[in-house]
Structure 1
Amino acid sequence: MTSILVLTFGLVAATVLIHTAFLTLSMKWLSGLNTGHERNFNFWPLTWLFVRLVWILLVSHTAQIVIWACFYYWGGAISYFESAVYFSGVTYTTIGYGDLVVPPPWRIIATVEGLTGIVMCSLSAAFFFSVMTRLFLDRQP
């Protein structure tokens, strides 16, 4: 049981590390853009900016899901890697269809993955909102 908890906390740390790295890269990328000096709202440039930002966030979440899936697969909880990625995805996003289940010792890890996914998705939403707010405030007279 102790080894499962240590593994779980390691997975949480890896998830936070990946997400923080992507957010840091996103902030550096955004700070290099010339987005705040115009006083008008240009629909297409802003839309394209947000599309790219969402892509970055989705790549980050996908990488995190794959990390969890690797542990389910390598640990023998799920036999096929594609199934492990699917299970990890529906667990991380808290969809939880229930069509795939893991053995009892792995259920603790799956539960923590769901909680971690909620926090990471919330962090992405907060980051996205803060970017939108900053862009809106930069365009105020």
Structure 2
Amino acid sequence: MLVRALLAGLPTLVLCVALQALFVSLALKCYDRMRPRAGARLTQWRSVKLLSAIMMLMLLGNFLQMGLWAFLFRLLGEFADFPSSLYHSAVNFTTLGYGDVVMSPRWRLLGALEAANGILMFGVSTAVMTAAVIEMLRLEARSRNDDAK
């Protein structure tokens, strides 16, 4: 039973990792396109737009991963409708673990696998956003130093 659940969840896990990598790549390209070029100032409005774009991209990537897990749960016949499957997936992915909706014992381990996937992917998303903030602070400090000269 354990092996069956792991084998069923592994392809979804691999897809989620690839999807997260795609969204990290998109966030980096977005950052590069929107960041100020040499000599330009980083305005507060540009900072807000840039960080909002990065956050929304990472959040969208996480939502899509929840949808992939929900699709797997439906495919396995665990839920009668997609909204219930998506709700359960979101509870697992975010590690809330309400317990109000549970899967059958046969597939229950998939919830833990999805939770491990979710906590890892939220960590990656946080790292991307933190890196963007650090880079923006660095650009702002450089701009202030250039102004002081």
> Scaled by the length of structure 1, what TM-score is found?
0.92
Alpha-carbon distance, 1:38 to partner:
5.3
- Alignment correspondent of 1:4: 5
Q: Deviations over 1:100-123 (max 9, x none)?
A: 111012111110100110000001
Which structure 2 segments of 5+ residues have no match?
Answer: none
Contact 2:51 2:132 in 1 (8 A): no
Percent of aligned positions that are identical: 24
Alpha-carbon distance, 1:40 to partner:
4.9
What secondary structure is seen at the aligned counterpart in 2 of 1:104? Answer: coil
Contact 1:39 1:139 in 2 (8 A): no
Q: Distance in 2 between matches of 1:134 and 1:91?
A: 32
Contact 1:72 1:84 in 2 (8 A): yes
Contact 1:22 1:60 in 2 (8 A): yes
Contact 1:73 1:84 in 2 (8 A): yes
How many correspondences in the alignment?
141
Structure of higher CA gyration radius: 2
Q: Distance in 1 between matches of 2:23 and 2:46?
A: 22
Q: Distance in 2 between matches of 1:52 and 1:46?
A: 10
Distance 1:24 1:41, change over 3 A: closer
Q: Does 1:103 align with 2:108?
A: no
Which structure 1 segments of 5+ residues have no match?
Answer: none
Please, which moves more after superposition, 15-24 or 32-41?
Answer: 32-41
Q: Distance in 1 between matches of 2:39 and 2:57?
A: 24
